Structure 1
Amino acid sequence: MIYEPGKGIWHLLGWAGSGMMVIMMLYSLRKRIALFSSLGSLSRWLSAHMFLGIMGPILITFHSTFKFGGIIATSFWSMILTMIFGILGRYIYVQIPRSLAGTELAVRDIEQIIESIEIQLREYSGGVNLADLSRGIDPEGGDFAERGLMKTLLFMFRTDIVISYRIQKVNTILKRQHHLAWKVRRKIDQLLKKKAALIRRKNYLSTSHQLLHYWHVVHIPLAIVMFLIMILHIVVYYLFRPVHSI
């Protein structure tokens, strides 16, 4: 097998990866142009955008046969940075509660959902005092503006880990001490996670909007640079292919 980016399957992988990177930009059209608003939910488009945004760079990495130099190195690392920031952006995006249609929920809507979850938890608990068991799971409230955006983001990561650990401890207690069925414990797990996530997202709503704004400031220029270099790479390759390949 020939391990050269411009030959054989490696060449095809480059086109496939580049195609995915271009197709994923349809999400931006779906989000910004009202004409496309009926073409599926925004959340599904975002999922497709994320999938293509990860698979594209993977295929392009194999296309390069792990040989980076010159313009290729610049293109590759701008692509990797764009992908990493895309994953980070997805995390920040989901911190803002939304409906199934993708529209942002108001604080009152979030509070109503939390109240509904609490009712369901009481129904599933079967007399177990979940309020005491789950104490410490729900994130703290308060104004987080003084933390700073980066510290808040790191705190959000840490909170996710801590909440998962504490919910697992509750699950263990429900199993060993209260002998609740697996299906019931699983449902309680899901409800506790959803409730904690909503409370945390409500508390951090303003900060999440700020983080998303600054993320756009970085991510969009990175994506533009990535596509410009990708186009330049393709043009140069086909212009100079008879002489040499880059």
Structure 2
Amino acid sequence: MGALSGDFSRKTPLANYLSGSPRIAFRVFALLVAAAMVWAWSVRDYRYLEAESGIGYALGIVGASMMLILLLYPLRKRVRFMRGWLKLRSWFSLHMLLGVLGPLCILLHCNFRLGSTNSNVALASMLLVAGSGLIGRYLYGKFHFGLYGQQVGLQQLKTDLDYIYRQFETAALADPRRQELQALYDGCSAIIESQRDQVSFRQLLRQRRGLRRMTRRTLATISVDDSTAVARRQLEDHRRALAALLDKLAGLRLFERLFGLWHVVHIPVFLLMIVTVIVHIFVVHWY
């Protein structure tokens, strides 16, 4: 048998499973936000920021404006005359960005302190929405390629699984390893076929646990007899791609359903936050 074949350039569908740049950018952004929060917490007793005046007051206006602008994303999806306003992907990017920066500005605005009842309710609802948004972002990523990528489908997973399995077939794998890989492939194919129909939550959880155990056991033992650097690098690329593909498959239908349930909860909580922010602004400026 020869070395692994295949090209993982951007033209290859498996590039979806190997791309790491969106994840790196997300981590850098999260690190910057965390650093800003740590700094603000460390200097809160110096009262550089006051909610009633100066930069603290301005941050409150900016943060509240950002949270109100978040409403434009669901409106863009549902209101007909707004459908020509930029691409939906751009609105989604803005929604994600402001969903983090808005709460950050509000936390700086209040200097990590509680105030009046109406401001506390507004702060609590905003933090609830922000936390809910992070959960939604996690669920969304489980059945999409990256943050702005296309939705993953069972047929695409089956096509990509067939492709990468053919790449492993050309590798110099020992017979026991080849048999384990065949068993993994057959198990994945059976799961894909079963999930084309309605499947219970319990069955989805059971399939996810079983597939993850089988994946860890099989991928940990895959190796090639050819010791060239090219063969080892290609093997590692294919193994990483297969691991990412199987991770998508293990939770695809499960996380799709959880995302649907999350959406039912997130929208009312978001609207509640809008109301509490408006009430807070009204009370602060008119009483």
Query: TM-score if structure 1 supplies the norm length?
Result: 0.69
What's the offset of the Cα at 1:27?
2.4
Return the offset for 1:226. Answer: 0.8
1:243 is aligned to: none
- Matched-pair identity in %: 27
Q: Does the alignment pair 1:82 with 2:129?
A: yes
Q: How many angstroms does 1:6 deviate by?
A: 1.7
User: Is the contact made by 1:92 and 1:211 (CA closer than 8 Å) also made in structure 2?
Assistant: yes
Aligned to 1:23: 69
Paired residue total: 227
1:33-52 equivalences under 5 Å are: 33=79, 36=83, 39-40=86-87, 42=89, 45-52=91-98
Aligned equivalent of 2:78, options 32, 40, 45 = 32
- Could you tell me how far apart the structure 2 residues matched to 1:16 and 1:135 are? 56
Hey, what does 2:247 align to over in structure 1?
197
Change (3 A) 1:237 1:195: same
Cα RMSD for the two superposed structures: 4.3
Q: Give 1:188's aligned residue.
A: 238
TM-score by length of 2: 0.60
In structure 1, the gaps of 5 or more residues are 241-246
Q: CA 1:174 to 1:213, structure 2 compared with 1: closer, same or farther past 3 Å?
A: same
- In 1, Cα distance between equivalents of 2:139 and 2:114: 31
Alpha carbons of structure 1 residues 5 and 179: separation in structure 2 relative to 1, 3 Å: farther
Q: 1:127 aligns with which of 167, 172, 176?
A: 172
**Cα distance, 1:118 vs structure 2:** 3.3
Match of 1:11 among 45, 57, 61: 57
Residue-by-residue CA offset, 1:72-122 (whole Å, 9 max, x unaligned): 221111111111111111222233347998665553233223323434555
Deviates more, 1:100-109 or 1:66-75: 100-109
- Equivalent position SS for 2:106: helix
Structure 1 counterpart SS, 2:113: coil
- For the residues of structure 1 that align with 2:94 and 2:109, how far apart are their CA atoms? 22
